[in-house]
Amino acid sequence: MLTTLRRDIRAVFQRDPAARTVPEVLLCYPGLHAIWIYRLAHWFWRHRMYLIGRFISHVGRWLTGIEIHPGAKIGGGLFIDHGMGVVIGETAEIGEDVTLYHGVTLGGVSWRKEKRHPTLGNHVVVGAGAKILGPVKIGDYTRIGANSVVVKDIPENCVVVGVPGRVHRRNGKRVIDREHEDLRHNVLHDITMERLREVTERLERLERRLQNQERRYTEEIALIEHGYQGPWGI
């Protein structure tokens, strides 16, 4: 447990350049507080003391503005930046060294008592306001853009943007900083604009072909009007 707690603190320093000292992190980071409150609530939940687990979780929600169900499974190194409005559902599973920004929802789409929340792989980054809904799986090293809505499985090493989320494979290469997670949401691909650009380029090619055809047709009409009868004299 102490090793996990130290890893949670280390994650803050690795992924937040504003973090300066350990006392500051311990006192002023609600994301860290929420994770630690969750770990306590989760211990009671695993030992079938459900009411105590839920009550501790509820207190954590009131203190931090972050709601993590005690039944969720969360790996080490989770970093919740700012955190206000983050919701993590009961059957959600989060891998190692994941980063969540404020307003993220790992929500369910079913009322049945089954696996109904997302599973996030290792080193996943989820941008502010993004919603991942249902028992979908997000592959390792994937980035979810801010305000995206994800309702389908996403392979590893992808970028997802838009509503609904569209996948942009990152040229088959992992863009990883081993010391600092890949947080640059300002350089995510704009899938909609890329598709519009492709359509525009295709229309331009078709217009050029059509213009060439029209020019040839005009030239042939002009030759016929001037008495040209073709190679066979027709």
Residues 45 and 136 in one domain: yes
Please state, for a pLDDT cut of 90, what percent of the chain lies above it: 38
Residues 133 and 234 in one domain: no
Residues 205 and 143 in one domain: no
Residues 64 and 120 in one domain: yes
For 87-144, the DSSP string reads: EE-TT-EE-TT-EE-TT-EEE----SSS--S-EE-TT-EE-TT-EEESS-EE-TT-EE
When the pLDDT of each residue in the chain is averaged and rounded to a whole number, the result is 83
Q: Which residue has the tokens 């994301």?
A: 31
What's the one-letter identity of residue 112? R
Residue 206 belongs to what H/E stretch? Answer: helix 191-225
Return the closest-CA partner of residue 141 out of 159, 127, 129.
159
Higher pLDDT, 174 or 19: 19
Digit-coded pLDDT (tens) for 139-179: 998 889 888 889 888 888 888 887 766 666 555 555 454 44
Cα 57 to Cα 36: distance, rounded to the nearest angstrom = 10
Residues 204 and 172 in one domain: no
Phi-psi region of 11 (alpha: psi -120 to 50; beta: other; left: phi over 0): alpha
Residues 33 and 130 in one domain: yes
Residues 219 and 134 in one domain: no
Return the closest-CA partner of residue 150 out of 137, 140, 141, 188.
137
Please determine, for residue 185, whether its predicted confidence score (pLDDT) is greater than 80.
Answer: no
Digit-coded pLDDT (tens) for 51-69: 999 999 999 999 999 999 9
N residues, the chain: 234
Burial (Cβ within 10 Å: 0-12, 13-18, ≥19) of residue 232? exposed
Residues 184 and 205 in one domain: no
Q: Is 166 helix (H, G, I), strand (E, B) or coil?
A: strand
CATH code of 148's domain? 2.160.10.10
Please determine, for residue 48, whether its predicted confidence score (pLDDT) is greater than 90.
Answer: yes
Cα 104 to Cα 97: distance, rounded to the nearest angstrom = 16
Q: Give the up-direction half-sphere exposure of residue 90: CA atoms within 13 A in the CB hemisphere.
A: 14
Q: What is the pTM of this model?
A: 0.70
> What domain range includes position 144?
2-189
Number of domains in the chain: 2
Residues 122 and 204 in one domain: no
Burial (Cβ within 10 Å: 0-12, 13-18, ≥19) of residue 157? buried
Q: Which residues have CB under 8 Å from 89's CB, separation 6+?
A: 69, 72, 106, 107, 108, 116, 117
Residues 47 and 134 in one domain: yes
Residues 132 and 209 in one domain: no
Residues 125 and 209 in one domain: no
- Are 94 and 79 contacting, i.e. CB atoms less than 8 angstroms apart? no
